[in-house]
Amino acid sequence: MAYYFEEPSRTFGEYLLVPGYSSAECIPTSVNLATPLVKFKKGETSPLMMNIPMTSAIMQAVSNDTLAIALAKEGGVSFIFGSQSIESEAAMVARVKNYKKGFITSTSNITPDATLADIIALKEKTGHSTVAVTDDGTANGKLLGIIGSRDYRVSRMSPDTPVSEFMTPREKLVTAPDGTSLKEANDIIWDNKLNALPLVDKNDHLTYIVFRKDYESHKENVNELLDENKSYIVGAGINTRDFKERVPALVEAGADVLCIDSSEGYSEWQKNTIAWIRETYGDTVKVGAGNVVDGEGFRFLADCGADFIKVGIGGGSICITRETKGIGRGQATALIDVCNERDKYFEETGVYIPICSDGGIVHDHHVTLALAMGADFLMLGRYFARFDESPTNKVRINGRYVKEYWGEGSNRARNWQRYDLGGAGKLSFEEGVDSYVPYAGSLKDGVYTTLSKVRSTMCNCGALSIPELREKAKLTVVSSTSIVEGGSHDVILKEHVTD
């Protein structure tokens, strides 16, 4: 006979946290949300830590370079979607890695005989308002001048005006020699009230530009997640089909961590993918795997060498895998089971493998519940698709703004590699829907609100860190009537009253 689980499959909405003792130290500003992204040995620290427990889903409608930059500023990591060409995904990764370094290699360059029309076209292409003028129009040519947004007025100048007539010429520029430290560069910027400081070599060739906005951005985004070169941390999705070509391209582009994007991870395909990565790169390339929903699946991927493991099948808001195939498990039950196995594995081996809870998040407090149940971080799709920085269109429907959101298993995405079981290279049936989500403004504001609730709830539980929350949390199953009791009830909301 088939195996039957004794307990029902439960969701986050069926649980509540019971408050614990809160000392005077338990205030939201004291809560530390740092969490490991990849595995580490007992007594050591994870080589890749996040400042907040949030990653964005490997989805066309969610994780492009724009959202990756916005999330890294807040301390989390995006996994650039893999259901695109290798070249396109690698280019997105490279744009994130090149976006912010203390020293920027100029990507907007032009020759002095170019025109204002060329400047306008270049700005439309790159989005950059600062353009370096070099003798050969390259990033490392001899510096002849700089053009900023204040150097020209489109309405008052002819499009064919030569760049040489309105650029700030070399003799009027404040520069610094190549080799200047970032601190020294920022001091020069501050002392001279500059927006940008070019660095030049002994032959007066441009090497880098340091921007004032990068310094100010760091001060505004105290949790931003940077590598040792002060570039943003970014992840990328891979599949179990073209990994031998895709992984090298992503590594070359600078991806800090990879993740196998699959609807079901307990498979030989994932084992083979991880084995090839280990044989080729050893432990230098970090790769997450999944998804699984029980301890047996966790143990399999742990033994395969996964750096983190994703939990969840069928719990995403646009996922219909449970409906179409009848497989999956309630996200809360799956998470609790896998995290128990994770702890056993840690006791046995001394290796801690972080758990990513993927799916099932409907309300902000579900984030705290997932962390209390053992998740080290979450992967979110619908949540991030709502923000300005996601790659989808914002449209107005019935008087309200919404953003498009579709699943990787939908007919629109047709990401057959994610659902591949070694068959034909196509999507035989849909496992996701095409939909809209309510528009929610900027990512920064949304993440701030969500994490403010998380920090506050953690204080209610007497916890100032995620490991402490896991240790002190007390969870109770709620009945259907107590769920009703938990919301507004037996009143008439003012917004529902009409004249």
Both tokens assigned to 363: 């309300």
CA 486 to chain centre: 32
Please report which residue ranges of 378-438 form alpha helices under DSSP H: 382-385
Q: How far apart are CA 130 and CA 148, in angstroms?
A: 5
Locus of tokens 């703004």: 401
Pick from 211, 5, 19: which is nearest to 104 by CA? 211
**Closest to 63 in 3D by CA, of 50, 75, 81:** 81
Q: Which amino acid is at 381?
A: G
The span from the first CA to the last CA of the chain, in angstroms, equals 63
Which residue type sits at 497? V
Yes or no: say if 430 and 409 are a contact pair by the CB < 8 Å rule.
Answer: yes
Would you call 418 a catalytic residue per the annotation?
A: yes
Asked if residue 149 lies in contact with residue 129, where contact means CB atoms within 8 angstroms, the answer is yes
**What is the residue whose two structure tokens read 């353009």?**
131
Nearest partner of 444 among 50, 23, 17, 54, judged by Cα? 54
Torsion of CA 46, 48, 50, 51, to 10 degrees: 80
Question: Following CA atoms 95, 96, 99, 102 in sequence, which dihedral angle do they give, to the nearest 10 degrees?
Answer: -130
| Structure-derived torsion over alpha carbons of residues 32, 33, 37, 39, reported in degrees to the nearest 10 | 50
How far is it, in rounded angstroms, from Cα 464 to Cα 17?
15
The three-class DSSP label of residue 110 is strand
Q: Exposure string (b/e) for 392-408, b if CB count within 10 Å is 16 or more?
A: beeeeeeeeebbbbbbb
Length of the chain: 499
From 342, 382, 418, 455, active-site residue: 418
The pair phi, psi for residue 37, each rounded to 5°, is -100, -35
Residue 259: active-site member: no
**Amino acid identity at 270:** Q
Residue 292 has a CB neighbour count (10 Å cut-off) of 30
Instruction: Check 26, 259, 319, 339 and give the catalytic one.
Output: 319
279/286 Cα distance (integer angstroms): 13
Distance separating alpha carbons of residues 111 and 440, to the nearest angstrom: 42
Instruction: Give me the helices (H) in 102-168, please.
Output: 116-126, 163-166
**What H or E segment, with its residue span, contains residue 355?**
strand 355-358
Strands annotated E in 165-256: 168-169, 176-177, 196-200, 206-211, 235-238
Catalytic residues: 319, 418
